[in-house]
Amino acid sequence: MSSGAAGTGGGGAERGLEFAVLGPVRGWYGGRPLELGPVLRTTMLVALLLRPDVTVSRAELVDRVWGEHPPESDGVPGYLYQLRKSLAAGGADAKSVLRTDPGGYRFAGAGVEVDAVRVDEIAARAKKAAAAGALAAAAEGYGQALAFYEGVPLAGLPGPFAERERRRFAERRIGLVEGRTDALIRLGDYASAISEVSALLAEHPDREPLTGLLMRALYGAGRPSDALDTWREFRVRMRDELGLEPSEDLRRVHEAVLRGDDGALAVAPRPAAAPRIRDELPHDVGELAGRDDELARLAAPGSAVSAVDGVPGAGKTALAVRAAQLLREEHPDGCLFVGLHGHSTSRAPLAPVRVLRRLLRSAGVNDQNIPDDLDELSANWRAATAPLRLVVVLDDALSAEQVRPLLPGGTGNRVLITSRRRLPGLDVERRISLGPLTSDAAAGLLSRIVGPARASRERAAVRELASLCGRLPLALRIAGARLQNRPMWTFRDLVDRLADDTGRLGELTAEERSVEAAFRLSYDQLPADTRRAFRTLGRAPAPEFDELVLAAMLGCSRRAAESVLEDLVDANLVQAPAAGRYRMHDLVAVYARRLVADEPDVASGLEVYLHACRAASEWDEPGFPSGPAPTASPFSGLVDASAWLDRAGDLVEVVSAAAAAGHPDYACWIAEGAVDYLVRRIRYRECVALLEVAVSEAANVADRRMTTALRFGLGWAHLALGDSVQARQWCEEGLRISRENGDRRGNRAGPVRAGNGRDARRPAGRSGTGADRGPDAGRGGGGQLAGRTGGLRAGIPAFQTGRIRTLARLFRRIAGSRGFNGKSGDAGPGVQPHRQRPAASGPSGGSGGTLARGGRIGRAGRRPVVAGEFAVAAWFRGAGIGEPGSRAFASPASAGCFDRPDVAVGGGGGPEPAGGLSAGAR
């Protein structure tokens, strides 16, 4: 069946009779075409088909088919016999469909699909959606209905009945276009509205509703003068040809255009002071050699989506960026650039969900309005871009499936896609395949890079060098840069060096090894210690790094690591996207990884992240009972480590890299250590993501505690997100596993965190059970602390007067005293007296955490009432700032603090404590 009619029967195996009449009349049974026969026989079928379940007399049937010129003999029975025969030949039960009744003939419509009927059903739903304000659904529905039309309805059929039905179907089509155009105008997609209504108005120039729609669309598109011209032309034509004036409805549209009345014209609301889209195009490479024809094709008008493919190093990205720059003036809403990492060897291809979130942020959409579902994200992106004029560059695509959800809406946007692969599954208007440059263009590029004076002395060597570089722009530019920076070299010197490795250089057209020989030239020129650093970076645990990571991997000082990194930047083997941050180009990293056989393992680099995560955590060392052999931490304290992690980027990549490198233990240790830092930084979703990666690796770790600890971490992260259901599920799963494994630590810790999830649903006035009190509920040594923790009450006035720093110093002094289990500084989980604290850390890690710390100290010293009051204050501080993560601090602190049934911190209605501290907190 046709693209429109094919939908009438659905995709199931039980397809029956189907007919298409909104074009040439055709029929199918079970998806197989039927032979309907000559036009008169088909006309008789249509005369019955379009009036299903209605008995038509023989005389009326003759009138429908032949009109005023009936045949001399009664041929109706013969035609019906042939129709039944045709249907039966296709497998249909002809007698049950074409029935003979006492008064005439009847077409039994039950179970028969007709495209005209489907159109009416879809149009009715679209009209209902428009009335409900679902304009996008309405526009899509009208578009689906219009897709069933395939030319002139009942094409070629004679007779008065067929002619009447043709006119009816044509009017129905006009109504569908009018409905769709109105929805598009209200959505702000004026370009599509103008295109569709103009085409139909050319066929029906006297249709007033179409004229009014065109005027509204032109006005909405910022073309009021064109809208007024449309009015004048229509009015003159009506007067001259019909002697009539336009209707009152059209006059109102004209007056609204004159007034600039958006409301009366029902155009899309115009955003007030909408933020301008950013220009995200990367730096241009300079002269784009030998690509003039391809550039002209990309920048030419009339192509909404273009795709560029070709061999590695052919300059696909450079071409797309230059074309985007040429298109910038025509697209004032901005230029967006996204690297999709489709063929990266160090990073997985970016998922469409992640890319769409970034694109929506670039388009000015608030994070709170960005959904998680892929279909919703894609729909929001199309809606946000429908009224805009953007250039979007999607670089290094993996497949059509990766790109398709990223295409913007509307008709005013241009999309440029680059990929090493052709993308036959993607509908694009223009495809360009890049190969090597011509010999002249390649030699010219080398000459311009190195300098015409030097090149003119060695013309033959220039062409030979261009040939050895495969005439690929990336290889040519690298080779030219070597000669630029080595003025004592001749072109012949470089040709001789490349000739020593012709086998490898001949693979320049392969994907990852496309410019390996050129990279080796840069590598060979480095000092020995710099070459070792370059090889070591092939094992870097994240795409972006700093001197601290390299120093740990090399076993040298940070200053020495920084110096060698700057040398590599000068050699163009390392990039510096920001001060103190470095990264390798994907292909350079591939080359480095090929050389790392004898270099340090990635574990030394991962250890830096582990030190940072644990140093940035407010948990104490008993909270991390396992790990690598102790080494000196490069961080001075919490502030230093937190600042370093703030610059380190996405920790999910680090955990994933550890797992991929065969270090599941580091993946789990880093994930566990990062929980407290990420929750304090309100990076809850990142916390969940890295813990999920680590959970999948926990089975490969010798430390069986990890299977439970990571699940408790997920419970805390979900609790911080306000999702108590997920929090409880993760904690209860961890508790179950710990009991199965006989993990007494997990059995004690689990109920505390699982209790947090339960507390979120516990009615006020009920306390947790004894099992909810946590691992320290029965901790010994409290009698030794009775004197010291008595000073906790001195902190109550400090809190009531807002002196949180004073309160923190008091807690550190108490926690630093000897007596917590007989150790200096053992203040219970989460209390680290010697660790540096932030001077001002805001709602995510400030007063809420300080107050909860007081609760933990009091609990460790067997001062349950004081501990409970501080924990309650922490709970109220979290509620006061509207941050669910801050309220999560209170539950671990308060677990086991109260033996009274009338106090429960974390309950649905909040606690009801005694004493003055909670009043101050409120």
Cα 860 from Cα 843, distance rounded (Å): 25
Rounded (5°) CA angle 869-875-881: 135
Asked whether the predicted pLDDT for residue 854 surpasses 70, the reply is: no
What confidence tens digit (pLDDT) does each residue in 180-227 have? 999 999 888 999 999 989 988 888 888 899 999 999 999 888 888 888
Asked whether the predicted pLDDT for residue 394 surpasses 60, the reply is: yes
Asked whether the predicted pLDDT for residue 177 surpasses 90, the reply is: yes
Q: Which of 143-157, 256-270, 845-859 has the lowest mean pLDDT?
A: 845-859
- Provide CB contacts within 8 A for 683, sequence distance 6+: none
Give the DSSP H/E element, type plus range, for residue 339: strand 335-339
What confidence tens digit (pLDDT) does each residue in 298-317 have? 988 877 899 998 666 778 88
Pick the most confident of 145-159, 312-326, 338-352. Answer: 145-159
pLDDT score for 859: 53
Write down the mean pLDDT value for the chain.
Answer: 75
Q: Which of 292-301, 757-766, 797-806, 813-822 has the lowest mean pLDDT?
A: 757-766
What confidence tens digit (pLDDT) does each residue in 497-519 have? 777 544 444 433 334 444 665 46
What confidence tens digit (pLDDT) does each residue in 399-437 have? 889 999 999 988 889 999 998 777 878 888 898 988 778
Asked whether the predicted pLDDT for residue 918 surpasses 50, the reply is: no
pLDDT score for 839: 35
pLDDT band for 330, please (50, 70, 90 cuts).
confident
pLDDT score for 836: 37
pLDDT band for 804, please (50, 70, 90 cuts).
very low
pLDDT score for 574: 80
Cα 11 from Cα 236, distance rounded (Å): 52
Rounded (5°) CA angle 139-144-146: 95
Cα 692 from Cα 710, distance rounded (Å): 8
pLDDT band for 872, please (50, 70, 90 cuts).
very low
Cα 215 from Cα 198, distance rounded (Å): 10
Which of 456, 450, 459, 439 has its CA nearest to residue 489? 450
Cα 536 from Cα 672, distance rounded (Å): 26
Asked whether the predicted pLDDT for residue 794 surpasses 60, the reply is: no
Which of 174, 138, 139 has its CA nearest to residue 153? 174
Domains and CATH numbers, the chain: 1-187 (1.10.10.10), 204-270 (1.25.40.10), 292-434 (3.40.50.300), 439-524 (no CATH), 779-921 (no CATH)
- % of the chain beyond a pLDDT of 70: 71
What confidence tens digit (pLDDT) does each residue in 667-722 have? 999 988 888 889 888 888 999 999 999 999 888 888 777 888 888 888 888 887 88
What confidence tens digit (pLDDT) does each residue in 558-609 have? 899 998 898 887 765 787 878 888 887 655 676 787 777 555 667 888 889 9
Beta strands in 189-240 (DSSP E): none
Asked whether the predicted pLDDT for residue 754 surpasses 50, the reply is: no
What confidence tens digit (pLDDT) does each residue in 71-115 have? 766 778 888 888 888 888 878 787 888 888 888 888 888 888 999
pLDDT score for 83: 86
Cα 409 from Cα 764, distance rounded (Å): 50
- Average pLDDT of the segment spanning 528-550: 86
Task: Give this prediction's pTM.
Answer: 0.39
Asked whether the predicted pLDDT for residue 260 surpasses 90, the reply is: no
What separation in angstroms does the CA of 528 have from each of 485, 516, 524, 649, 781?
Answer: 19, 19, 9, 31, 58
What separation in angstroms does the CA of 872 have from each of 2, 420, 894, 916?
Answer: 69, 59, 8, 11
Beta strands in 720-853 (DSSP E): 818-820, 823-824
Give the orientation angle of helix 603-615 with respect to helix 651-660, to 10 degrees: 140
Cα 372 from Cα 353, distance rounded (Å): 7
pLDDT band for 41, please (50, 70, 90 cuts).
confident
Cα 595 from Cα 522, distance rounded (Å): 14
Beta strands in 462-613 (DSSP E): 544-545, 575-578, 581-583
What confidence tens digit (pLDDT) does each residue in 118-138 have? 999 999 999 999 888 888 889
Cα 369 from Cα 607, distance rounded (Å): 38
Cα 484 from Cα 708, distance rounded (Å): 58
Longest dimension (CA), the chain: 122
Q: What are phi and psi of 107, to 5 degrees?
A: -100, 115
pLDDT score for 82: 86
User: Which DSSP symbol is given to 242?
Assistant: I
Tokens of 72: 């001399």
Q: Which of 60-64, 610-614, 804-808 has the lowest mean pLDDT?
A: 804-808
